[in-house]
Chain A
Amino acid sequence: MTSGHDTADIKNHIKVYMMVFAALAFLTIITVAASYLDLSSGEAIFLALAIASIKGSLVASYFMHLISERALITWILMLTAGFFFILMFIPMASLIDQARLG
């Protein structure tokens, strides 16, 4: 990704960056608009997180070039993501488990 770009390549990239920018701006507006809808809290959370995830993957894939990054980096990030979710959900699961016992 880093070397061996020719000029035409980069110019193509720039077009992609602009499209990503437009998509990000559009999704931002959508997510704000959606928050004014009368959704149940579960639906709202799902929608907001889904949109944020799309935006996040756009940034990561294109601005951070992950889409064409080396396998090693992808592996490290997948490992990190795995632990991230463990860290996120196991403490919460322990609360649920506790609540279940009353």
Chain B
Amino acid sequence: MNIPYTVEERPDTGLYNAKLGIWLFLASEVMLFGGLFSAYVFLRFGAPEGAFHEWGKELNIPLATINTMILISSSVTMVMSWASLKLKDFKKYKFYMGITLLCALGFLVIKYLEYTAKFDHHIYPSTNTFYAIYFTLTGLHGLHIIGGMVVLFYLWMPGSKMWHSKPEQFTNRIETVGLYWHFVDLVWIFLFPILYLL
């Protein structure tokens, strides 16, 4: 059985199935983080004047800035790995994908350092509502990174065999997983100022 439009685009919508699928998934992700951002706004508003800002001062801005840079870089290497496939340069694909994974790993290591530093100072999610939402948001974001890494690793190593049999479909896969990856980056772009800077 063949399901139509798994690889080629449907003429009237101009999309292949997975492209629409991933965007719908991202739409639901927007609403998931929307719920959490809404909680952030609600709690910040309900807290004593300036409390969130005060509580947030314990966070490590330099580390978070580095992490922002890392994640942005990983987004660039991600899109480069897709462009490499478009240029039929499989070696470069492997290279860029490898760097993307490395960046992701670096991000998690720094996050780990940040978390343990907080715990060492006896700051936990239960400390106050700011840290509650801080740990929840960054934790969930971290889970997204980990989930993404699993898929990226698969497409980097075992799954990349597909390039030799079905190059078009493989390129589509990289494009869709790339969309997810950029989205995770995009979430961080907003998390960074609201948690660390404000």
Query: Is A in direct contact with B (CB under 8 Å) within the complex?
Result: yes
User: Which residues of A are at the interface with B, using a C-beta cutoff of 8 A?
Assistant: 2-3, 5, 7, 10-11, 13-14, 17-18, 20-21, 24-25, 28-29, 31-32, 34-35, 41, 44-45, 48-49, 51-52, 55-56, 59-60, 63-64, 70, 72-73, 76-77, 79-81, 83-84, 87-89, 91-92, 95-96
- Taking a contact as CB atoms under 8 Å apart, the answer to whether B76 and A21 are in contact is yes
Question: Mostly helix, strand, loop or mixed at chain A's interface?
Answer: helix
Question: Mostly helix, strand, loop or mixed at chain B's interface?
Answer: helix
Q: In the assembled complex, which residues on chain A have CB atoms less than 8 Å from the CB atom of B190?
A: 52, 56
Given A72-B13, A87-B38, A91-B38, A80:B31 Cβ within 8 A: yes
Given A25-B69, A35-B197, A59:B189 Cβ within 8 A: yes
Q: How far is the CB of B87 from chain A (nearest CB, A)?
A: 6
Q: Tally inter-chain residue pairs, CB-CB below 8 A.
A: 133
Tell me, yes or no, whether B111 is within 8 Å of chain A by CB.
no
Q: In the assembled complex, which residues on chain B have CB atoms less than 8 Å from the CB atom of A72?
A: 13-15, 20
User: Which residues of B are at the interface with A, using a C-beta cutoff of 8 A?
Assistant: 8-9, 13-16, 19-20, 23-24, 27, 30-31, 34-35, 37-38, 41-42, 45-46, 50, 53, 61, 65, 68-69, 72-73, 75-76, 78-80, 83, 86-87, 172, 175, 178-179, 182-183, 185-186, 189-190, 192-194, 196-198
Given A52-B189, A56-B189, A24:B182 Cβ within 8 A: no
Q: How far is the CB of B161 from chain A (nearest CB, A)?
A: 22
- Taking a contact as CB atoms under 8 Å apart, the answer to whether B197 and A48 are in contact is yes
Partner of B72, one of A2, A21, A48, A60: A21
Q: In the assembled complex, which residues on chain B have CB atoms less than 8 Å from the CB atom of A96?
A: 45
